[in-house]
């Protein structure tokens, strides 16, 4: 009897071990000759480019195409800046940049330390419990500010791509030096092909700032109610879910000369692009005392805001202020 129980236990252990090995082997990482890093699962592929300032350059669902916008002509000059596309981290706000760059333009281009120069790959590792591969990177320090960017881009077995980032002191013994009256933000900027519309799920104070009086997005406030019916102990029960969101008609901007930007109290957006339906979520709390609703942002290029030969794009952006600048942005594609 005891030997039978022991044999059954060993068989169960072998089965579970085999399943675990199969599960672990279904997520892989590869360093490529062009110095990019590819992470792949059965459902999705992500490509990271440390040499291009730590960008996440591709999110490709199985049998699909990259949902991120990538500049097909990277040699085109964007007014002193190379726009590679993908998702990146900037130190914001933009009106701090003239503090550390020499330029005839107004706070342009971005300082090369966090967008222009390569990021250091600190390590590539599987997190405890397996099923997640993460690439950890560091930017060069902006010496005058005593700040640098830390980025960790990861892919899990479910096909969710996550960008975790924060601003860090380059020298812990020294203070952070912000220009007078300014405070820094950790600014995630993801570029996508321009969708027909973006659904913005509002939260917090539900504030919206839409462009300016001369140029803004067409928007409509929408409520979607779903019902789920189920049975318990011969009783019929119904649950109701109510979703309130702002539908932002981003595609309308393509016919305009000037670009448009809008700000929202939002941590979640969704939209359709040629590669699939993209869900973008921001998981950290914003500082609700800020003067503007700047947690979630949408930007779409107009005809005059891209150089000749460049394709238009839209940006989905999230920001988190210093010193609690840690934020997580998750991308999921269906």
Q: Residue 16: pLDDT band by 50, 70, 90 thresholds?
A: very low
DSSP 12-77: HHHHHHHHHHHHHHTSEEEE-TTS-EEEE-SSEEEEEEGGGTTEEEEEEETTS---S-B-S-TTSB
Cα–Cα distance measured from residue 52 to residue 81, given in angstroms and rounded to the nearest whole number: 12
Give the DSSP H/E element, type plus range, for residue 318.
Answer: strand 314-321
186, two tokens: 């950790």
pLDDT per residue as tens digits for the range 239-248: 666 667 899 9
Average pLDDT for residues 254-281, to the nearest whole number?
A: 93
161, two tokens: 């791509």
Cα–Cα distance measured from residue 112 to residue 102, given in angstroms and rounded to the nearest whole number: 11
pLDDT per residue as tens digits for the range 150-206: 999 999 988 999 999 999 999 999 999 999 888 899 999 999 999 999 999 887 666
Looking at 53-62, 111-120, 280-289, 322-331, which range is the least confident one?
Answer: 280-289
Class of domain 2-333 (CATH, top level):
mainly beta
The phi, psi pair for 14, rounded to 5°, reads -65, -45
Cα–Cα distance measured from residue 27 to residue 158, given in angstroms and rounded to the nearest whole number: 10
Is the pLDDT assigned to residue 12 strictly greater than 70?
no
Cα–Cα distance measured from residue 85 to residue 94, given in angstroms and rounded to the nearest whole number: 18
- pLDDT confidence of residue 205: 65
Report the alpha-carbon angle 269-271-274, nearest 5.
150
Cα–Cα distance measured from residue 140 to residue 72, given in angstroms and rounded to the nearest whole number: 27
326, two tokens: 């840690």
124, two tokens: 């590539």
SS3 annotation, 147-158 = EEEEEEEEEECC
> Which of 320, 89, 92, 46 lies closest to 191 in space, CA to CA?
89
Is the pLDDT assigned to residue 69 strictly greater than 90?
yes
- pLDDT confidence of residue 295: 79
Q: Residue 104: pLDDT band by 50, 70, 90 thresholds?
A: confident
What's the number of CA atoms in the CB half-sphere (13 Å) around residue 298? Answer: 35
Domain ranges across the chain: 2-333
Q: Residue 23: pLDDT band by 50, 70, 90 thresholds?
A: very low
- DSSP label at residue 103: -
Strands 266-273 and 276-282: antiparallel
Is the pLDDT assigned to residue 36 strictly greater than 80?
yes
- pLDDT confidence of residue 108: 93
Q: Residue 56: pLDDT band by 50, 70, 90 thresholds?
A: very high
Question: 234 or 154: which carries more pLDDT confidence?
Answer: 154
Is the pLDDT assigned to residue 15 strictly greater than 50?
no
Compute the mean pLDDT over every residue in the chain, rounded to the nearest whole number.
86
- pLDDT confidence of residue 146: 97
CB 287 within 8 A of CB 241: no
Q: Residue 106: pLDDT band by 50, 70, 90 thresholds?
A: confident
pTM of the shown model: 0.86
Cα–Cα distance measured from residue 139 to residue 143, given in angstroms and rounded to the nearest whole number: 12
pLDDT per residue as tens digits for the range 271-307: 999 999 999 999 875 554 443 456 799 999 999 989 9
Cα–Cα distance measured from residue 302 to residue 314, given in angstroms and rounded to the nearest whole number: 10
Average pLDDT for residues 256-265, to the nearest whole number?
A: 93
What's the number of CA atoms in the CB half-sphere (13 Å) around residue 32? Answer: 14
Residue 172 Ramachandran class (φ > 0 left, ψ -120 to 50 alpha, else beta): alpha
């Amino acid at each position: 009897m005891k030997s039978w129980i022991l044999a059954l236990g060993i068989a169960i252990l072998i089965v579970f071990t085999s399943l675990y090995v199969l599960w672990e082997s279904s997520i892989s990482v590869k360093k490529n000759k062009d110095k990019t890093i590819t992470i792949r699962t059965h459902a999705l592929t992500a490509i990271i480019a440390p040499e291009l300032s730590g960008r996440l350059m591709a999110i490709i669902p199985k049998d699909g195409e990259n949902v991120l916008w990538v500049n097909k002509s990277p040699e085109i000059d964007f007014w002193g800046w190379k726009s590679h596309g993908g998702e990146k981290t900037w130190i914001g706000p933009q009106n701090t940049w003239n503090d550390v760059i020499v330029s005839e333009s107004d706070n342009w281009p971005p300082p090369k330390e966090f967008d222009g120069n390569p990021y250091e790959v600190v390590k590539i590792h599987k997190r405890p419990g397996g099923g997640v591969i993460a690439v950890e990177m560091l930017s060069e320090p902006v010496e005058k500010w005593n700040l640098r960017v830390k980025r960790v881009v990861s892919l899990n077995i479910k096909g969710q791509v996550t960008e975790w980032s924060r601003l860090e002191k380059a020298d812990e013994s020294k203070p952070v030096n912000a220009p007078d009256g300014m405070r820094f933000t950790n600014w995630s900027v993801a570029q996508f092909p321009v969708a027909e519309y973006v659904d913005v799920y509002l939260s917090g104070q539900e504030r919206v700032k839409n462009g300016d009086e001369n140029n803004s997005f067409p928007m409509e406030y929408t409520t979607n109610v779903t019902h789920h019916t189920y049975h318990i102990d011969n009783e019929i029960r119904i649950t109701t879910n109510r979703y309130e969101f702002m539908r932002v008609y981003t595609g309308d901007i393509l016919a305009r000369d000037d670009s448009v930007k809008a700000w929202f109290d939002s941590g979640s957006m969704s939209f359709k692009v040629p590669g699939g339906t993209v869900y973008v979520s921001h998981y950290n709390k914003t500082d609700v005392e800020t003067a503007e609703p700047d947690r979630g942002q949408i930007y779409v290029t107009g005809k005059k805001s891209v150089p000749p030969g460049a394709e238009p794009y839209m940006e989905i952006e999230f920001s988190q202020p210093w010193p609690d600048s840690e934020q997580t942005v998750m991308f999921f594609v269906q």
